[in-house]
């Protein structure tokens, strides 16, 4: 089928997989040439094809929060991307129509890592040849018929046996991919938190319906069970702790659900089922390849700021004494700190003025905080020279996942005291930190919340000490 430019301006056409692949490759080369020229010649930045592995990235999503040089660079790259985004969406829309898949799947074009899986899927799937029939047996290529016969002999007509076989295949594969990404590459990015659960849901459903198309409810149920078993396996083999998996669960279940929907859309269309094995193998191979590419092009996280304030019924001079150092706090009864999250216990200071060192002792170790600004009784600012682990994992084993090292990093902090009327003080605590866990827009919700709760524990303690007569 020839490539026609008119296809880019109408949604009523179709496009076969070879023109779709060739057009996509041509547009990628054109866009890379433009982006490379702008980045290197216009802004003095390096640029490589790996920059497209994770897009949209955190800089695009937070473009108006960046400083001027980065903001203008991101806005320029985003503006240049707009016509290519439009063309890509139209081509993907047409290809979905041609393959007989639900058109709503075009939304995956904007989901990092998943959009690569979608592109692979649309390149592998043939053009629709016949109307959908949900009650027919699945026909597979002659080479796979012995495998299908074995599958039928094992599962027969049972949903349960078919589900167990699907789980026995998909769960170990994805757990191995998680071990590869987290333990070997020490990368906690989109491929791990987006690609892995999406692939788990999709592969599970494709294997589940290998011999016979399965109902939507059963497909979604077996995908949710697969995510639960994968999490249990990760805890059992001492890869992660329970609380980290609880934090990752919302995004994992949602993406597995989406992957299961796509798997269901494929397995109920008989004219696509001779491609099921190719799709499954393609997803299995693409996932670790994407993990490796992301690890090779890991981006530097942006600096985040978290501010928390309390009103203290005492003058700034009195509050200041409890800011620079404070006696031990009572053990927390806060549920968050019962999960293993590090919490502050006391603070000490060695010396007075700029150059002195404040030590904030947490449940997992000590923050070493050299003082950079000393303006009593209004401002104390420090950088973080050293810090302990952010948490102790909930696990039946003694484990130390790589994300405990240099993923959530405090860079600097300050206490600001503002005198108010009636002898009161506004006490503001601020922390600047980076978080290398991706997708940043999700994990920063957790990290901001945790930092706020740590601030609250310290500030309420200082408030109570300062208000004692």
User: Is residue 416 within 8 Å of residue 428, measured between CB atoms?
Assistant: yes
243 and 195 in a common domain = yes
198 and 106 in a common domain = no
In degrees and rounded to multiples of 5, residue 174 shows phi and psi of -70, -35
Q: Considering 84, 109, 129, which residue would you say is the last residue of a domain?
A: 129
Q: For 154-163, what is the mean pLDDT?
A: 77
**Is 316 or 15 the better-scoring residue by pLDDT?**
316
Return the closest-CA partner of residue 74 out of 61, 84, 86, 83. 61
**Is 378 or 440 the better-scoring residue by pLDDT?**
378
Q: Is the pLDDT of residue 285 over 90?
A: no
Q: Is the pLDDT of residue 3 over 50?
A: no
pLDDT the model gives residue 184: 85
What is the number of structural domains in the chain?
3
Q: Considering 258, 279, 298, which residue would you say is the last residue of a domain?
A: 298
Among 98-102, 145-149, 184-188, 314-318, name the most confident range: 314-318
pLDDT the model gives residue 105: 79
Q: For 219-227, what is the mean pLDDT?
A: 93
Q: Is the pLDDT of residue 194 over 90?
A: no
357 and 380 in a common domain = yes
Q: What share of the chain is helix, strand, coil (3-state, %, to 5)?
A: 60, 15, 30
137 and 107 in a common domain = no
Q: Specify the pairing of strand 344-350 against strand 408-419.
A: unpaired
254 and 125 in a common domain = no
34 and 142 in a common domain = no
Q: Residues 6 or more apart from 36 whose CB is under 8 A from it? A: 47
Q: Is the pLDDT of residue 360 over 80?
A: yes
Q: Is the pLDDT of residue 20 over 80?
A: yes
Q: Is the pLDDT of residue 166 over 50?
A: yes
pLDDT the model gives residue 469: 79
Q: Is the pLDDT of residue 302 over 50?
A: yes
Confidence band for 145, pLDDT divided at 50, 70 and 90: low
> Percent of the chain at pLDDT above 70?
86
170 and 67 in a common domain = no
**Is 152 or 340 the better-scoring residue by pLDDT?**
340
280 and 326 in a common domain = no
Distance set, CA 213 to CA 118, 136, 171, 270 (Å):
21, 8, 20, 8
CB burial of residue 6 (10 Å; 0-12, 13-18, 19+): exposed
Distance set, CA 91 to CA 38, 95, 102, 383 (Å):
26, 6, 14, 50
- Tens of pLDDT, residue by residue over 382-431, are 999 999 999 988 888 888 888 888 888 999 999 999 999 899 999 999 99
164 and 75 in a common domain = no
The SS3 of residue 352 is coil
Confidence band for 130, pLDDT divided at 50, 70 and 90: very low
Q: Is the pLDDT of residue 455 over 90?
A: yes
**From CA 249, how far away is CA 372, in angstroms rounded?**
40
Q: Which domain holds residue 269?
A: 133-298
Return the closest-CA partner of residue 259 out of 390, 108, 157. 108
Confidence band for 137, pLDDT divided at 50, 70 and 90: very low
User: Is residue 370 within 8 Å of residue 355, measured between CB atoms?
Assistant: yes
409 and 453 in a common domain = yes
- Tens of pLDDT, residue by residue over 316-341, are 999 999 999 989 998 988 888 988 89
pLDDT the model gives residue 162: 87
Q: Is the pLDDT of residue 141 over 70?
A: no
Q: For 295-317, what is the mean pLDDT?
A: 87
245 and 177 in a common domain = yes
Taking the whole predicted model, whether its pTM rises above 0.75 is answered as no
421 and 325 in a common domain = yes
**From CA 98, how far away is CA 100, in angstroms rounded?**
5
Q: Residues 6 or more apart from 315 whose CB is under 8 A from it? A: 419, 423, 425
Q: Residues 6 or more apart from 342 whose CB is under 8 A from it? A: 362, 363, 364, 365, 388, 389, 390, 391, 392, 454
**From CA 283, how far away is CA 207, in angstroms rounded?**
13
Q: Considering 253, 278, 298, which residue would you say is the last residue of a domain?
A: 298
Report the mean per-residue pLDDT for the chain: 83
Q: How many CB atoms lie within 10 A of CB 216?
A: 14
């Amino acid at each position: 089928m020839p490539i026609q430019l008119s296809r880019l301006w109408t949604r009523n056409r179709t496009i076969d997989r070879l023109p779709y692949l060739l057009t996509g490759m041509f547009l990628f080369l054109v866009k890379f040439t433009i982006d490379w020229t702008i980045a290197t010649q216009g802004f003095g930045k390096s640029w490589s094809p790996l920059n497209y592995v994770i897009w949209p990235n955190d800089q695009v999503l937070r473009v108006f929060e960046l400083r001027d040089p980065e903001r203008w660079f991101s806005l320029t790259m985003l503006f240049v991307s707009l016509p290519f985004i439009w063309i890509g969406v139209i081509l993907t829309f047409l290809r979905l129509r041609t393959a007989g898949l639900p058109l709503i799947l075009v939304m995956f074009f904007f989901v990092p890592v998943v959009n690569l899986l979608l592109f692979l899927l649309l390149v592998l799937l043939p053009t629709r040849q016949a109307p959908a029939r949900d009650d027919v047996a699945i026909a597979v290529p002659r080479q796979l018929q012995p495998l299908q016969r074995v599958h039928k002999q094992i599962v027969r007509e049972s949903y349960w046996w078919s589900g167990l076989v699907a789980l026995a295949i998909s769960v170990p594969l994805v757990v191995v991919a998680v071990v590869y990404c987290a333990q070997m590459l020490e990368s906690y990015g989109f491929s791990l938190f987006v690609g892995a659960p999406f692939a788990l849901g999709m592969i599970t459903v494709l294997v589940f319906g290998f011999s016979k198309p399965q109902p939507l409810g059963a497909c979604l149920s077996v995908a949710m069970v697969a995510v639960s078993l994968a999490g249990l396996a990760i805890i059992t083999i001492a890869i992660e702790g329970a609380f980290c998996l609880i934090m990752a669960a919302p995004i994992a279940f949602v993406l597995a659900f989406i992957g299961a929907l796509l798997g269901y859309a494929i397995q109920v269309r008989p004219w696509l089922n001779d491609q099921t094995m190719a799709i499954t193998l393609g997803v299995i191979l693409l996932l670790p390849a994407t993990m490796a590419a992301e690890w090779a092009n890991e981006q530097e996280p942006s600096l985040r700021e978290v501010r928390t304030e309390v009103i203290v019924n005492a003058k700034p001079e009195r509050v200041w004494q409890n800011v620079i150092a404070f006696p031990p706090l009572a053990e927390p009864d806060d549920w968050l700190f019962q999960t293993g999250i590090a919490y502050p216990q006391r603070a000490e200071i060695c010396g007075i003025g700029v150059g002195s060192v404040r030590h904030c002792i947490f449940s997992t170790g000590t923050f070493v905080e050299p003082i950079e600004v000393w303006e009593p009784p209004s401002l104390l600012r420090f950088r973080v020279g050293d810090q302990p682990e952010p948490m102790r994992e909930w696990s039946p084993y003694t484990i130390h996942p790589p994300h405990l090292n240099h993923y959530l990093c405090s860079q600097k902090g300050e206490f600001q005291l503002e005198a108010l009327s009636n002898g009161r003080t506004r006490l503001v605590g601020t922390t600047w930190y980076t978080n290398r866990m991706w997708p940043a827009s999700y994990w920063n919700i957790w990290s901001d919340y945790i930092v706020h709760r740590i601030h609250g524990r310290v500030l309420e303690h200082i408030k109570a000490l300062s208000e004692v007569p």
